[in-house]
Amino acid sequence: MLDHAAPAQAGSLAPSGMPIGTPVGTPTGAEAVPDSRGINLYRADPQLARLVALYLPPDLAAHLAPHLDRLGALAGGRLDDLAGQADRNKPVLHPRTRTGADAAHIETHPAYREMERLAFGEYGLAALSHRAGVLGWDAPMPPVAKYLLTYLFVQAEFGLMCPVSMTDSLTRTLRRFGDPALVARYLPALTSQDLDTLHQGAMFMTEQGAGSDIAATAVTARPRGDGTWALAGDKWFCSNADADLAMVLARPEGGPAGIKGVALFLLPRVLPDGTPNAYRIVRLKDKLGTRSMASGEIRLEGAVAWLVGDINAGFRQMADMVNNSRLSNGVRAAGLMRRAVTEALFVAHHRVAFGRRLIDMALMRRQLAKMAMRAEQARAMMFATADALRRSDAGEADAYPLLRILTPLIKFRACRDARVVTGDAMEVRGGCGYIEEWPDPRLVRDAHLGSIWEGTSNVVALDVMRAAKREAA
């Protein structure tokens, strides 16, 4: 809301306690430039705690409250600083060792490693839906809790949340469709909070001729005779390119044409005997946003992989992972919008022009209200969709159709709105908003990602229609 606590109306108080409309003196020099660094992003958003009380059991809500408060302080301070450092110091691919061995590795900045420790380690964001003990809770947490923490974390760092989401989603898909032996082998590492034993996840789908058109997948799979398969071909856009495990779509030799001939495979970076798998990271992508996280092109050269689930249902099974990632995209877009709104509100309450604070000016209040509306509707949809996921997983008959249509809807609407809201927030800050020292440019760059990954807006809109027509969603 416009005063961070309640709708701003004539005579209402700003956080400083000053009635809106009070004439103020114009500061000069550095004092004239509002800087929100160090703000607690959880406390700056009191409506969030009220929504938590609606969607989480009282005992879990009370348990998470201090964790949310600490994460809010991190996101507005140290975590935000780390995110800026990682954004300015992109990952570097080292394709060979100094002796010439093809042993590619990706070097990330220490700031990114510290953010991994916070996300995967301290907060267990990829594990808390799958096992007990994360953040001291004695059971796996519901999706609302996971996305709530993600929503706060992403207000500082967007790029790392892609590997976190893919690790969580890969774990979910492997548990649903994978052979029990594979699940037993990899589940402990996928849900570890120790970075030395953690296995991060990824999904390698996109090819040069097969983006959203999965039926055009050209990467091949050949049985090796020992229960594994050899994958060959190029994957064009692979985020978290050096992940320990990846879900890969490939076409088994001799299978039918089209989408029915695409199967799902689990690809390890390192084979069980400790030798590197037969694929290479060819290069890293020079991206507009999410610069902290490595996305690359990968060449599979007979790489060993395990079939996951039904050989004739690869896309349907991968869709489970994609839909989870689409929901995560919507959550992250909602988080970006909330950070943008928080920054804009701070500037509007503290920036003085023409003898008045910006918040006192009618056009500015109109702009802020439009931004807040988009951010609030995305957040409301985030909670509703996460709760539908919980109920669907629990087997409630009416929950799946709701989840089926809400997931592409939030991905479509929130990700498009995030581009607008982050851009408007940059404008509120004025010239400083265009300078990379401030958070606004990174918010704008990262916001453009959501409308592309896991399906462009047109593709997702068609999925909404498909859900309504074919599945009565």
The stretches in the chain having pLDDT less than 70 are 1-24
- 3-state SS, the chain, equals CCCCCCCCCCCCECCCCCECCCCCCCCCHHHHCCCCCCCCCCCCCHHHHHHHHHHCCHHHHHHHHHHHHHHHHHHHCHHHHHHHHHHHCCCEEECCCCCCCCCCEEECCHHHHHHHHHHHHHCCCCCCCCCCCHHHCCCCCCHHHHHHHHHHHCCCCCCCHHHHHHHHHHHHHHHHHCCHHHHHHHHHHHCCCCCCCCCCEEEECEECCECCCHHHCCCEEEECCCCCEEEEEEEEEEECCCCCEEEEEEEECCCCCCHHHCEEEEEECECCCCCECCEEEEEECCCCCCCCCCEEEEEEEEEEEEECCCCCCHHHHHHHHHHHHHHHHHHHHHHHHHHHHHHHHHHHHHCEECCEEHHHCHHHHHHHHHHHHHHHHHHHHHHHHHHHHHHHHCCCCCHHHHHHHHHHHHHHHHHHHHHHHHHHHHHHHHHHHHCCCCCHHHHHHHHCCCCCCCCCHHHHHHHHHHHHHHHCC
Q: Determine the pLDDT at residue 22.
A: 60
Taking the complete model, does pTM exceed 0.85, yes or no?
Answer: yes
Segment 365-385, tens digit of pLDDT: 999 999 999 999 999 999 999
Q: Determine the pLDDT at residue 277.
A: 97
Segment 213-251, tens digit of pLDDT: 888 999 999 999 999 999 999 999 999 999 999 999 999
The ranges assigned to domains in the chain are 201-313
Q: Determine the pLDDT at residue 163.
A: 97
Q: Determine the pLDDT at residue 18.
A: 57
What is the CATH code of the structural domain delimited by 201-313?
A: 2.40.110.20
